[in-house]
Amino acid sequence: MNIAIIDDQEVVRYSVAKTLKKLGHNTFEFTGIEKNIVNFIKDNKIELLIVDIMISDDFSGIDLLKNLRFNNISNPAILMTAYTTPTNMIEASKIGVKDILQKPFSGDDLTKTVEKYHIKEEKNIHTLDQIDEEFVGSFETMKDIYEKIGIAANNNLPVMIQGDTGSGKELIAHLIHKNSTRSKSQILAINCASIPKELFESQFFGHEKGAFTDAVKAHIGFAENVGNGTLFLDEIGELDIILQSKLLRFLETKTFRKVGSNIDLEFKGRIVAATNIDLNKYVENGQFREDLFYRLSILNILVPSLEERKNDIPILVQHFIKKANYDLKLNIKGVSNDALEVFKNRAYKGNIRELKNLVYNCALNAHENIIQMGNIKNINQQINHDNTMDMHKMISQIIEQNGIENSKTTLESIENAFYTATVKNCNNISHLATYLHISRSTLRKILEKYAIEY
């Protein structure tokens, strides 16, 4: 292949070219600021671009690729970078970049990545590494999510974000909005579980004055208020089945009527939904409309739990320390190695949100501006002590009510309630078994004993 290597560092261009030449490729080297680069790429039938993301202080590899696209040069491109930002990586995804090479990379990494472009059918997209706000992570765990954020930001299709509570679903919705053409308009978040069923239509679509007894004045609903922005429907799985049919019609027609009106209004916004439940299971059980599910999940983003991305914990801890310093006016300089091991080995039922709260709590109690293992242990002991006292009091009251002679029945009732609650809050059987420190088969037997669906 004819490959253009674009990097402001000569040593990088030389090293990459040397590896590619051994594979039989023809290479052409540029710093990225040459005035004739567009014409050269056109005239020499360049088949692949390998571009550094930082060409100069005021001109990036993304800028160069956008300029090439503007000049009708759509060659596939690989980005090289030592440090990535979410904005750059999402922008790269939007203009079709399929791979990045994280510096320093090996000759094998370069070879494997370049050779994919010999296979024209290759459709895997690898982008993105690290994100701002709370949603940080390693390249390996975040690349698929950022690929999809870039795709979502580049169109107006409905998006479904699925993941456990506290895993960062709303942050993803905000990133999609921030990097889309709607970013100058607002993103409006709605918790579908918090709005009473009888008020949902009025809140969602609005109502006219006099539409019902308490309608003393007209009300603008979410669908109208969002304008050209993004309507984020959180906990969509909790929406009543009757309201689901109204939402489906709204999505299909892109129109709505205020309660008490006979005039159709156009919906100009974009829908992003999120859920922490298994909607496929809800569809099977008739709790969620299948047609609405497919309408909402044209693009599906699955967010991993913190348990599935334990390697990201050191990055997240450092990130939350920086945020704690800013938010709480602290000067925490770091975390001890043994404390970091405790952070890494904990089970986080509350995912990223729980880790953030733990870091903030430790930061407030840290001595000498370093988070130590003792800070975490003290917090755990306080939490466990409080929980134990509450539990003793609750069980004592239940036994007093039922009588000591009914202890076995009381115990089974408590166990039934406990497992029912845990399944409701963690519908992944493997994760739940891990949290409870029992095998999956043991957990299944317990759930079958109490006829608890999972």
pLDDT per position in the chain (454 positions), as tens? 889 898 888 888 889 999 989 888 888 888 888 888 888 888 878 888 998 888 887 888 888 888 888 887 878 889 888 766 777 777 777 777 878 888 888 888 888 888 877 643 333 222 223 334 445 766 677 788 888 998 999 999 999 999 988 888 988 999 999 999 999 999 999 888 878 888 888 889 998 888 887 777 888 999 999 999 999 999 999 888 889 999 999 999 999 999 998 999 999 999 999 999 889 889 998 989 999 999 999 999 999 888 888 888 888 888 888 888 888 888 888 888 888 888 888 888 888 888 988 998 888 887 767 888 877 766 555 444 444 445 666 676 666 666 676 777 778 778 888 888 888 777 677 778 777 777 777 888 888 888 888 7
Rg of the chain taking only CA atoms, in angstroms: 27
pLDDT at 168: 86
CB atoms within 10 A of CB 128: 27
pLDDT at 271: 96
3-state secondary structure 407-447: HHHHHHHHHHHHHHHHHHHCCCHHHHHHHHCCCHHHHHHHH
Tokens for 64, please give them.
């160069």
pLDDT at 103: 81
Specify the pairing of strand 219-220 against strand 206-207: antiparallel
Model's pTM, two decimal places? 0.58
Between the alpha carbon of residue 2 and those of residues 25, 48, 118, 162, 368, the distances in Å are 6, 7, 11, 42, 57
Cβ pair 102, 113 in contact under 8 A: no
The residue written with tokens 């090996």 in the block is 106
Q: State how far the Cα of 410 lies from the Cα of 398, in Å rounded to an integer.
A: 8
pLDDT at 427: 65
pLDDT at 38: 83
Between the alpha carbon of residue 90 and those of residues 143, 311, 384, 432, the distances in Å are 10, 23, 42, 34
Cβ within 8 Å of residue 428, ≥6 positions away: 164, 305
Q: State how far the Cα of 377 lies from the Cα of 383, in Å rounded to an integer.
A: 10
Query: Phi, psi (5° rounding) for residue 49?
Result: -110, 130
pLDDT at 127: 23
pLDDT at 386: 45
311 DSSP 8-state letter? G
Domains and CATH numbers, the chain: 2-149 (3.40.50.2300), 155-302 (3.40.50.300), 306-378 (1.10.8.60)
| Backbone CA torsion sign across 345, 351, 357, 359 | positive
DSSP string, 196-224: -GGGHHHHHHEE-TTSSTT--S-EE-HHH
Cβ pair 257, 265 in contact under 8 A: yes
pLDDT at 439: 77
Tokens for 199, please give them.
């008020």
pLDDT at 333: 85
Q: State how far the Cα of 147 lies from the Cα of 399, in Å rounded to an integer.
A: 55
